[in-house]
Amino acid sequence: MTAENEHQIRPTPTARVVVIGGANADVVGIPSGALVARDSNPGHVRTSPGGVGRNIAENLARLGAVTSLVTAFGGDEAGRELTSACWEAGIDVGSSVVVADLPGPRYLAIVDEGRDLVVAINDMRALDRLTPGVLAERFRAELIDRADLVVLDANLPEESLSWLAPRITVPIVLDTVSVAKAPRVASLLPRFAAVKPSALEAGVLLGHEIVGIEAARAAAEDLVGLGVGSAFVTCGPEGAAWADTTGSGTLPAPAVSVANTNGAGDAFCAGVAYALLANQAAADAARLGSALAAMTLEDEGTVRQSLSLDAAIGRMRVLFG
């Protein structure tokens, strides 16, 4: 990347991003040795702030974007702790809701000895309270209207996604979250400036299995053909593929020492959103997303606490020249 491009990847200091999606407490079990199914495994359990929308918002805030998060917190102590963690990370959550009669959302994950996800369960019931009526309340609607870019995650109720997508007039970046939730946005694809599915999630959107990086590239092209502005399909250790109306490409997975895979996809999506906020092409958005994902994979947390734009640009230079 040239020095000129590095300068251009910085949006104006007043650029505002609104993220609407999930925030939860992550509980991750990490075995000390080889994971044995259907048995009690020695290891350690780590609890940290998480959630797709919240992780994307924290990455954006650490990159320097003015970032607001609209989510639903539980009315318990975990919900209060999560709210405080968002403020401390530089995320404005003043327009979020507190659901007093439900526990705070939680994400319970088990990873294997290679730190790759084996299975996870999420309890996101509180987020069902982000209904169109709640989102339409004046101060939330005005917050969305003032944004320069909006990020949505598919944890939101389907009716809320269907209400938001046609209403928002600025570019929208979508994270499809999971195989179970990706179908919620299948009919809305032309509304999105960018989408970031995994290969499995892209397969759900397109109705066929996607295996390998070249199939991911074809899937990204197909998503653009369905009306998406740009598409980024992640394939874990095989890398990532991107496409827009001008072309497509692939990037290899960076060689890193993996501490934790949880949060890497969210970091990639944040990189895409930040690059689009700075009016960068899809190829550079993919490079920034890959750099952020690599930095996150090296960290045990879901968001790398030392993240900054200068650090991300430095990693881009190392990875892609």
Provide the 10 A C-beta neighbour count for residue 178.
18
| Contact in structure between 201 and 176 (CB atoms under 8 Å) | yes
Residue found under tokens 């394939």: 235
Q: Does 19 have pLDDT greater than 50? A: yes
Residue 22's closest CA among 93, 87, 77, 89? 93
Of 123, 127, 77, the C-alpha closest to 99 is 127
What is the band of 261 on the pLDDT scale with cuts at 50, 70, 90?
confident
What is the mean pLDDT of the segment spanning 217-244? Answer: 97
Q: What is the distance between the alpha carbons of residues 47 and 214, in angstroms, rounded to a whole number?
A: 36
Instruction: State which fold the 3-320 domain adopts.
Output: UDP-N-acetylmuramoyl-L-alanine:D-glutamate ligase (3.40.1190)
CA-CA distance, 299 to 221, in Å (whole number)?
32
Residue 1 pLDDT:
45
Q: What value does the mean pLDDT take over residues 273-291?
A: 96
- What is the reported pTM? 0.92
Enumerate the domain spans of the chain: 3-320
